Amino acid sequence: MKCGEKGFSSVKDTAPIVKTGNGLIRGFCRNQNAVFLGIPYGDRCDGAFRFKEAQPARDWDGVLDCTKYGAIAMQDVMDMDLLPEPVRKVVQDYADVFTGGIPFDKKQEKPNENCLHLNVVTPGIDDQKRPVLVYIHGGGYMSGSGGVTAAICDRLIDEKDLVVVTVNHRLNAFGSLYLGDFDAEFAQSGIVTQLDLVLALKWIQENISAFGGDPDSVTLIGESGGGMKIHHLLSMPECKGLFHRAIMISGSIPAAAKTKQQGTAETLAVLEKLGIPKEDWRKLLTIPAQELLAATRGLELIQPNSTPFMPTADGVRMPANETGCFHVCPEMAHIPVIIGSSEEEIATNVLNPMLTWDGLRDVLLKRENPLLQVVSGITEENVDAVIRIFREKDDIKAPWQILGQIVSTAHFLGGGSYLAAIARAQEGCKVWHYTTTFDTPVPGAGVLSCAWHTADLPLAFRAVYHAHGEDLSKTIAHSFAAFARTGDPNTAENPWKPFTVDHKETMLFDLTAVCVNAPYRDIYHILSSVSPTFKGGFAV
């Protein structure tokens, strides 16, 4: 498999038909790939089924039209037409980066409680048994869908001969509102999002052969919230055999660490916002979906040590993580993983282009932005040392970039990937680690650029908006495709050593890619004394 080779897409039928376990479906041909959208993998989850585990999709007669996107999870969908022109331009710039400039109209995706649909894109309807790449979307546990990735993956499929599946599933209160303390019947309500994904993975095992995919070669890939969901799937023993490799991009957080007490507190906050007394909690089962959704508005997606509506472990299907640290589920320890993040993940959340070096010092000490609580141990005595260590790593970065890197590396979206890699390495698991250092222009910020959150995701799917990212896109896609095919991302074009306790090899993805031993050792060491994320430096 050579880097950048192409020509695997070979579908000729303009209206391909596939027989699934539930019935026949009709898709369409796009760039010689067969595309099937909105395939039901689960039954209804509204009404009496709200907050409960979904059942498999029901069978249907005839041929189901799968040429349009199915419903997405309940969430607010931005109406570009209602935005002021300057804001609309910035939002469109972000969208263009995420799609590689491929037009995608979000209006074709409609929110609904009954959202258990997936999309399949394949280069051939045959018996080739290709590796299957299952994309789990980001947006925390609050928003998002698999639509965009299903729309932009044609180049990747044509070059790498993969089958791509993207999955919609329940989110926010509909997917993780914990009611187990109110009624044992809802003991699993806090992991419904994860159970939806398990159901989708079971559908893939049963059906993907009909799309030219290999059920024995399934790789999960997810960014941001998608990475978090994969971490949680890796904590669920019943997932053994449902997937075989995993790639977590910019979304590492200790799985199953949210307690039932925390889950109940979140539910009580929702009840309070709705004006529903605790003793009347059953009204949550029947209130209109839009009212329940309204109770989730205003929550910050990126918080110092969590994201809203993460799963609340039930202690059975998702064993509780008593330590609150990264850990390895014994039943899933055999899964090889790639874990990584970007150097300035959340720089755009603390962006201040006019920041001076003195101003940086002041910002770190005052910590007025809640995200700066990730470095709550910074004091007058150590602030200069922290800044110096980061500047020594890259002395051409401006103060705003250093602030972004400090906060990002100390945050679970950034440094969390390193901690997750350490935890798996300590258990002897196969793990590869990376950091994206490639600078992408920040939409709406003029000439400013940095390695911001999710800017590298479309590159992995060969959707390139900025031309200078083309070579890096080929490199990332080639490594990830090799991993999906063999369980090892090491290639002749891009040598990549595994990450171990003794040799903390990290791939640095930039204009050129290079594997370096412990490139952030000094940074992790200083953060171990000032950041609660690093819990006293157990991983340094």
Active site residue ranges:
224
Of 173, 351, 337, 371, whose CA–CA distance to 269 is shortest? 173
Would you mind telling me the total number of residues written for the chain in this entry? 540
Burial status of residue 503 (CB atoms within 10 A of its CB: 0-12, 13-18, 19 or more): exposed
DSSP SS3 for 218: strand
Burial status of residue 239 (CB atoms within 10 A of its CB: 0-12, 13-18, 19 or more): buried
Report yes or no: 307 and 176 within 8 Å, Cβ to Cβ: no
| DSSP assignment string, 176-214 | H---TTT-GGGTTGGGHHHHHHHHHHHHHHHHGGGGTEE
Rg, C-alpha atoms of the chain: 22
Burial status of residue 90 (CB atoms within 10 A of its CB: 0-12, 13-18, 19 or more): middle
35, two tokens: 């595309």
Give me the residue label for tokens 């031993």.
517
**CA distances (Å), 38 to each of 62, 69, 78, 121, in order?**
16, 5, 21, 12
Residues paired with residue 450 on neighbouring β-strands, in sequence order: 440
Of 410, 403, 190, whose CA–CA distance to 304 is shortest? 410
The answer for 391, left when phi > 0, alpha when psi is -120 to 50, beta otherwise, is alpha
**Strands (DSSP E) found in 109-262:** 117-122, 130-136, 163-167, 213-223, 245-249
422-425 long-range contacts, CB within 8 A, separation 24+: 422/326, 422/501, 422/504, 422/539, 423/325, 423/326, 423/327, 423/328, 423/539, 424/326, 424/328, 424/333, 424/337, 424/339, 425/499, 425/500, 425/501, 425/504
- List the Cα angle 39/139/436 in 5-degree steps: 110
Residues paired with residue 29 on neighbouring β-strands, in sequence order: 34
Of 231, 227, 228, 232, whose CA–CA distance to 248 is shortest? 227
DSSP SS3 for 277: coil
DSSP SS3 for 171: coil
